Structure 1
Amino acid sequence: MAERTARRLTRRSLLAIGAVGSLTALAACAGATTPFVSPGCTATVNGSSDLRDLEQAGNVAIIVGEALRRGLPPRAATIAIVTALQESKLYNLDYGDADSVGLFQQRPSQGWGTEDQIMNPWYSAGKFYEALVKVDGWQTDTINDVAQKVQRSNFPHAYAQHEDVGRIWASALCGFDPAGVTSVDNKNATGNPEVLREFVVRVWGGAIPIAINPDGLSFTVGSATTAWSVALLCMCLGSQAGLVGLRVGDMTWANSTSQRATWAGQNAVDPTVVTATCRTA
């Protein structure tokens, strides 16, 4: 109990001091001679952007990945992201109100699973979707109201404030916005392409053939939408895999530790191959 309490206090301190929200939160740095570029992933859709740190980006990838694995539409992913933003700010918390834990602050005492199960983001996202699809009208009712029917929160109108951000991430990571995510990663982690391979296999099974390259992986895809979904989800997990580059058709991205590197090239031809390059020793 003492150890868990210490972890909770540490997490609360980190959230209070260093949690990254939207890009507007960085505006105060604009006047600095050498602006600090916060590590993390930025999604941009129709001119609107949102920045999440590397931990949040990894969790939002799992939330979207689980929706894709279940064959659910982007709206389901949007509702799940909105809910996790409100409940945990996309952090996998080991504390909460009463016995609530995890991305969605699900409660073991309310039948969501054991604490260990709920602390697994794949499990908790899956349980959320199981409950979501049982809600009458979840595909058409307002996102806030649908989320509330799943969560039964004491703050029934709080989900609405996150709807725009949820749509940005769901649209980009489901592959509908080519080059819709960029990243800054200064952790310099050892290359581990297995992280990306396991993720893609978990989401798409054997539907996407994967070739192992000396410095990464190549994914053969059936559509441009799938290509961009694979690439941008891999980018969100890139810090764990030591990702340093991506190619989608004729477009390329290379990681920078100091600036938000944009995608280069033209999105002129529907891509059939996504290549992920990881750091080598």
Structure 2
Amino acid sequence: MAAVGVLAAVAGYLTVQYVSGGRGSDQCTVRSADGSYRLTPEQAANAATISAVGTTRGMPERAVTIALATALQESGLRNIDYGDRDSLGLFQQRPSQGWGTAKQVMDPVYAAGKFYAHLAKIPGYSRLPLTEAAQRVQRSGFPQAYAKHEPDAALLAAALTGRTPGALDCEPPRTTAGTGDAAKVRAALVGAFGKGVLPAGAAPSAGPASSDALAVPVRADRRADRDGVPQRGWELAHWAVAQSEALGIDEVAYGGRRWAAGSGWSTEREGARREESDTDEVRLRLVR
């Protein structure tokens, strides 16, 4: 009986770890007036990619919420290489069902793009209940399961699309964070947001390999927060914070505020008037 009890406890632990994505290593938090949600750096990076792919395609925040809730249910926002039958990746897409090759669906940018492409074909998807919209794309055997993730997905979407400024904080340990590489950061930006995210001529491999700073321009954006700061800037800033562990980003500055690994967001210049340049670009400093 003792052995049965131990096995049951282990099974329960593994189930919790699968569903939560291993919450014991949570180092990222989204906080806003609507609540808070904790997740791992891996989950945050995948969520930021899903959001970036959606907004780059011109999809509204509701679409990003639907996509995030779907990925939370299907994979716990982890890019897993296993699943039911041949299901793979963030959205558990099946190569045998026409979603792409195994290599393609394991690429978060590709997988998110395929999800949005299917979602966009659903008439009035933004007005449908989230479970119905997600189910029309996924054809899941458990369609009601998406509903429980909607509040958390909405919090994430509001932050990652830039509507809630300074809402995402990650705490990658400085002792284990890898060295930053500007070329890799540029490549990741282009992969998630498209070539237009960087100035003309700033190819992913451009710039000296030893550079520890990078400025990402904020394009004209009709979406703005209540202070008139473009959502686009906060979207890029939050993306950088979410990717900080994976890409070795140590500091992010935007809109008169600065995020530093280990200490979070702070006002960059206490009492100082925000300069125009503060909203023209997102400034990144990499780990050296």
TM-score for the superposition, normalised by structure 1: 0.81
Cα distance between partner residues in 1 of 2:88 and 2:112: 13
Which moves more between the two structures, 240-249 or 203-212? Answer: 203-212
1:41, 1:57 within 8 Å by CA — same for their partners in 2?
yes
1:275 matched residue in structure 2: 283
2:217 matched residue in structure 1: 220
Structure 1 residues not aligned, in runs of 5+: 1-11, 27-37
Cα deviation per residue 1:14-36 (whole Å; 9 max; x = unaligned)?
A: 94598345xxxx7xxxxxxxxxx
Matched, 1:199 2:188: yes
Cα deviation per residue 1:91-148 (whole Å; 9 max; x = unaligned)?
A: 1111111111111111112111121211111111111111111112211111111001
Residue number among 143, 165, 171 corresponding to 1:178 in the alignment:
165
Counterpart of 1:70, as a letter, is R
Residue number among 19, 22, 40 corresponding to 2:21 in the alignment:
19
Larger radius of gyration: 2
Q: Displacement of 1:268 after TM fit?
A: 7.0
1:40, 1:57 within 8 Å by CA — same for their partners in 2?
no
Matched, 1:243 2:249: yes
Which moves more between the two structures, 261-270 or 169-178? Answer: 261-270
Cα distance between partner residues in 1 of 2:145 and 2:273: 41
1:122 matched residue in structure 2: 109
Matched, 1:95 2:95: no
2:162, 2:234 within 8 Å by CA — same for their partners in 1?
yes
1:195, 1:240 within 8 Å by CA — same for their partners in 2?
no
How many aligned positions are there?
Answer: 251
Cα distance between partner residues in 2 of 1:204 and 1:268: 33
In 2 relative to 1, CA 131–165 (structure 1 residues): closer, same or farther, beyond 3 Å? Answer: same
2:34, 2:155 within 8 Å by CA — same for their partners in 1?
no
In 2 relative to 1, CA 64–127 (structure 1 residues): closer, same or farther, beyond 3 Å? Answer: same
Cα distance between partner residues in 1 of 2:81 and 2:166: 34
- After superposition, the CA RMSD in angstroms is 2.5
Cα distance between partner residues in 2 of 1:50 and 1:251: 22
In 2 relative to 1, CA 93–208 (structure 1 residues): closer, same or farther, beyond 3 Å? Answer: same
Q: Displacement of 1:208 after TM fit?
A: 4.2
Q: How high is the sequence identity, in percent, across the aligned residues?
A: 37
Counterpart of 1:123, as a letter, is Y
2:189, 2:197 within 8 Å by CA — same for their partners in 1?
no
Structure 2 residues not aligned, in runs of 5+: 1-13, 222-229
In 2 relative to 1, CA 185–205 (structure 1 residues): closer, same or farther, beyond 3 Å? Answer: same
2:9 matched residue in structure 1: none
2:183, 2:207 within 8 Å by CA — same for their partners in 1?
no
Cα distance between partner residues in 1 of 2:19 and 2:236: 32
1:44 matched residue in structure 2: 31
2:73 matched residue in structure 1: 86
Q: Displacement of 1:201 after TM fit?
A: 2.6
1:45, 1:171 within 8 Å by CA — same for their partners in 2?
no
1:39, 1:184 within 8 Å by CA — same for their partners in 2?
no
Cα distance between partner residues in 2 of 1:130 and 1:47: 29
1:192, 1:240 within 8 Å by CA — same for their partners in 2?
no
2:52 matched residue in structure 1: 65
Cα distance between partner residues in 2 of 1:20 and 1:82: 17
Counterpart of 1:230, as a letter, is L
Cα distance between partner residues in 2 of 1:190 and 1:94: 27
Cα distance between partner residues in 2 of 1:109 and 1:18: 28
2:61 matched residue in structure 1: 74
